[in-house]
Amino acid sequence: MTALKGLLSASCVVFSVVGPAAAQAPPTTPPPRPTRIQASVGVPVGFASGEFGNNVDSAAGISVSLDVGLGGSIVSVGGELSHLWYGRDSRKVDLGPAIPELAGTLVTVTTDNAMMLVHGRVRVQPRRGRWRPYADGLFGFDYIYTKTSLDEANDCSGSSCPSVVEATNLDDWVPSYGVGAGVMVGLGSPGSMWLDVSVRYLWGGEADYLTHGAIQHVGDTVIFDTSRSRTDMVAVYVGVSFGR
């Protein structure tokens, strides 16, 4: 009987200690930390400025970017790549005069004027809110070029078709830097997707380049009417961003 009383007393002590602890809610798992990575894709439209604007009207293309936030701060670093076209010429050419065996075979000769902009980027942007304005600083280079390609021949098949070839008529590399500002607006669930709109001014170095229609044909002679100027422009961008 004494042993039974002792067992009951011990059970009461254990229950008084363990019971309240067991009744407490299990510790909750802390919410996952938001990603620091942000990726974007969109359409930039560039409007040439200064001397460049006297030779080129506008350019449009595609742009992709990726950046990483620095800890929990409002600063991120990354880079962006943009490819813009500012002119295209196409014409049909009969191969007969040069290759009598292919008389009547038409090929399409296409000349593209384009720019590739590669920039490192420092961005300042708040990390909370549905509306997130930002400011950018950019530094990198522009690659401006004109390329002519021989597309697949029309009305031919098999071994009679000429090979597809292309040649760079003129190209140049110049430094580039700029500043810009924009805003992201949240779409759908928080942080899943953002509408991204921005404008920036880019100062480009002095380059040799060809403009739309600058390649002239005089008989069998080809004349390249080369322009030279700085390559400054105002760029307007509309796209979508993911993350952060």
pLDDT digits (tens, 9 = 90+) for 146-164: 999 887 655 555 555 555 6
Tokens 């293309």 sit on residue:
61
Does residue 31 or residue 166 have the better pLDDT? 166
| Cα 162 to Cα 65, 67, 112, 166, distances in angstroms | 38, 44, 21, 12
Q: Provide the b/e sequence for 129-157 (b: ≥16 CB within 10 Å).
A: eeebebebebebebbbbbbbebeebeebe
In this prediction, residue 77 carries a pLDDT of: 97
What's the token pair of residue 84?
Answer: 């813009």
From 76-85, 93-102, 150-159, 188-197, the region with the lowest mean pLDDT:
150-159
Does residue 204 or residue 220 have the better pLDDT? 204
Does residue 19 or residue 167 have the better pLDDT? 167
CATH code 2.40.160.20 for 35-242: yes
Model confidence, pTM: 0.76
Identify residue 54 by its one-letter amino acid code: N
Reported as a single tens digit per residue, the pLDDT across 161-218 is 555 688 899 999 999 999 999 999 998 776 679 999 999 999 999 999 999 888 887 8
Q: How many helices (H) and strands (E) does the chain have?
A: 2, 12
Report whether pLDDT(220) > 70: yes
Report whether pLDDT(34) > 80: no
Quickly state the pLDDT bin for 18 (edges 50, 70, 90).
very low
Report whether pLDDT(8) > 70: no
Quickly state the pLDDT bin for 114 (edges 50, 70, 90).
very high
Domain extent listing, the chain: 35-242
What's the token pair of residue 2?
Answer: 């004494």
In this prediction, residue 10 carries a pLDDT of: 45
Report whether pLDDT(23) > 50: no
What's the token pair of residue 12?
Answer: 């009461």
